[in-house]
Amino acid sequence: MMNSTTNDIKTMIGQMIIVGLRGTSPDDAKYFFKSLNGLTIGGVILYDQNVATSPPSSHNILSPEQVKDFNEALQSFSPTPLLIGIDEEGGQVNRLKEKYGFPQSNSWAKLGLLNDIVETQSCATRMASTLSKYGFNLNFAPVLDLSVNPDGFIAKKERCFSNDPKNIAIHSEIFMKAHLDENVVPVCKHFPGQGSAGGDTHEGMADVTETWSETELIPYQTLIDNDCIPAIMTSHLFHQRMDPELPATLSSKILTNLLRNKMGFEGVIISDDPQMGAIANHYDLKTIIRLMIRAGVDIFCFGNNLVFDPDIVQKVQSITLELLDERDITSNQIKKSFNRIVDLKTKIGLG
């Protein structure tokens, strides 16, 4: 299998990787791409704080001018056009903070309390235009999780819009259209719905077997039917009746059978960070990659912030090639993901 097509396959695998990096300057961007030794990647994710240090220290985002220069450098040194992603939900999950010189942003929960279409439109437009202006083209938002557990990790951080799935769908569609108008990809999360979870998947497994309900799929189904979701991020939650063995990110029952086949989603599926405890504490990297590809994940998002691995891109590349050689995965699975990613990049003008 590994012959003249190896370079093509390597390029395709590279597009399936979004990774976090350290640095703030154009020189740091240059060094990062040099460290990849010719390997290409699909994208990067930026953070304002390095949470691997105690207390957290500054990371990729210092000021509007700095991050614009950094993002321009990242694009210029990358052999292929990059998705440059960020978690910019607003409120507490907000990497472009006012204290760094960026515009103020409201939390998704506050917009839910206001429940005003005009206000949602205004905030989403301001957010999307800010992202676009400073070189971002991928936003891991909106959150489609229902506010059904007030003590849950998501609700406590004011990340849920409301407990009404129809309202969430209406406002999320406005949010997404505002982003796409600015050539920023919005990513709905966390499928199949993390609103009822008590645990935090950053730390360990969140079991929603007894708390999850099918109502949590309604925002996704509504927006899929309206053909307005370009990308969905998986959750690491565990639901025994959906899949008795695997969490959602690793489950073909949840991602292929349910999301793709039953619900009809044809866009890009992005994993939540596989370095989170819910996954990393239970599986080795080769198993994670094998199960994600088999489940139907198109892009692996390694934040490289909870733990930092400077060789993660090389590891993912070599493991994926090994899995192909061992026939644990197929080149057709890689090609399907690659084609979806190319379509997504084309949608926002990344040639």
Query: Domain holding 216: CATH number?
Result: 3.20.20.300
Residue 114 within a domain: yes
**233, β-bridge pairs:** 270
pLDDT above 70 coverage of the chain, percent: 97
pLDDT at 4 over 90: no
Asked if residue 281 has pLDDT above 70, the reply is: yes
pTM across the whole model = 0.96
Classify strands 138-139 and 185-191 as parallel, antiparallel or unpaired.
parallel
User: Is the residue at 6 inside a domain?
Assistant: no
Confidence of residue 206 (pLDDT cuts 50, 70, 90): confident
Q: What is the pLDDT of residue 337?
A: 98
Instruction: Give Cα 313 to chain centroid, integer Å.
Output: 17
Question: Do the domain assignments include residue 338?
Answer: yes
What H or E segment, with its residue span, contains residue 10?
helix 6-15
Q: How far is CA 67 from CA 89, 133, 207, in A?
A: 18, 10, 38
Q: What is the pLDDT of residue 302?
A: 97
Q: Is residue 66 part of a domain?
A: no
Q: Kindly tell me if the per-residue pLDDT of 110 is higher than 70.
A: yes
For the chain, the domain total comes to: 1
Which pLDDT score is estimated for 151?
Answer: 87
Sheet holding 138-139, edge to edge: 268-270, 231-234, 185-191, 138-139, 83-86, 43-45, 17-20, 300-302
Tell me what the mean pLDDT of segment 96-113 comes to: 96
- What's the pLDDT score for residue 2? 36
Provide the percentage of residues in the chain whose pLDDT is more than 90. Answer: 90
Whether residue 306 lies inside any domain: the answer is no
Mean pLDDT, range 229-239, rounded to an integer: 96
pLDDT at position 320, please? 98
Mean pLDDT over residues 203-218, rounded?
A: 90
Q: What is the pLDDT of residues 286-314, one digit of tens each?
A: 999 999 999 999 999 999 999 999 999 99
Question: What are 276's two structure tokens?
Answer: 């989170």
Judge whether 216 lies within some domain.
yes
The predicted structure's pLDDT at residue 152:
86
Residue 123 confidence class, pLDDT cut points 50, 70, 90 = very high
Q: Residue 203's pLDDT is what?
A: 61
Residue 234: inside a domain, yes or no? yes
pLDDT band at 1 (very low <50, low <70, confident <90, very high): very low
Mean pLDDT throughout 43-68? 94
Residue 91 belongs to some domain of the structure: yes
Range(s) of the domain holding residue 137: 87-297+311-347
In the predicted model, is pLDDT for residue 237 greater than 70? yes
